Amino acid sequence: MKKYSLLALGIAIVLCGLLAVSCSKSSGGSDDPTPNNQNNQNNNQGNQGNQDNQNNNQGNQGSNENTLTFDVNGATGSIEAIKFTSEAKLPDASVLKFDKHAFLGWSTTKNATSPEFEAGATYKGKSTTLYAVWTEVFKITYNYNNNKQSSEFTAIDFAKGTALIQCKVEIKDNEILVWKDKDGKTYENGSKVPKAADLELTADISNKVNGEVSAEEWQYKDYFKNN
């Protein structure tokens, strides 16, 4: 009988020990790493999601940035490209040099003869290249008693018919002023330039006698009668 009592006591002690271990595990002991590992995995996934969103935002911001590049179209010098999102102010051509040419503005077409945008205008659009638009400049040189004056006109002025021979020279009431080119052709002040080219003119002053050209200026008589 005593033997069986000791056996029962031993079994009870073992069961109590097992029960204590079970209670310790169920109360959140550190022996089971599963919950913490799951939380860490969830956190890592969340951080990865945030990073992806940040990268996407940066990518979207980059895709909205546009670039304007400038082709000086024959001139000397350069103009730096402009980065912009929605609009950009267009530069002038003050840093460029192009002999005997005048800057008109900018165009999306390389061979344009008139600009789409003037300097200082606001460009709204996507990335593109703008080409400088130039027009040729011509010079008129006036020679009066070895004193020279000059004026300029452009190819556009000539095309419009607004390029004029015009130089102020003081003459007497009985004098008539005309201008002669190197071939001897005569032009009055205010007449149109004959061609889009440089022009050299020399003043020719004739005296009037009783409303007629003097005898010594007979070679211009027909011209003055017709004018």
Whether 222 shows a pLDDT value over 70: the answer reads: no
Whether 115 shows a pLDDT value over 50: the answer reads: yes
Judgement on whether residues 129 and 189 belong to the same structural domain of the protein: no
- At residue 215, the pLDDT reads 44
Of 136, 155, 172, which residue sits at a domain end?
136
The domain that holds 109 is classified in CATH as 2.60.40.4270
Question: Is 190 domain-assigned?
Answer: yes
Judgement on whether residues 184 and 221 belong to the same structural domain of the protein: yes
Question: Is 148 domain-assigned?
Answer: no
The tally of domains found in the chain comes to: 2
pTM of the model: 0.63
> Bigger pLDDT: 227 or 178?
178
Contacts 24+ apart (CB under 8 A), 149-156: 153/193, 154/102, 155/196, 156/104
Contacts of 161 (CB under 8 A, 6+ apart): 192
- At residue 203, the pLDDT reads 93
Question: Is 110 domain-assigned?
Answer: yes
- At residue 170, the pLDDT reads 84
Decide: residue 226, CB within 10 A, 0-12 exposed, 13-18 middle, 19+ buried: exposed
Whether 151 shows a pLDDT value over 60: the answer reads: yes
Judgement on whether residues 127 and 168 belong to the same structural domain of the protein: no
- At residue 206, the pLDDT reads 86
Rounded to 5 degrees, φ, ψ at 153 are: -145, 160
Question: Is 141 domain-assigned?
Answer: no
Task: Identify the band that residue 64 occupies on the pLDDT scale cut at 50, 70 and 90.
Answer: confident
- 86-90, 92-96, 170-174: least confidently modelled range: 170-174
d(CA 3, CA 69): 103
Range of the domain at 89: 66-136
191: closest CA among 161, 210, 164?
164
Helix (H) or strand (E) holding 213: strand 212-213
- At residue 226, the pLDDT reads 44
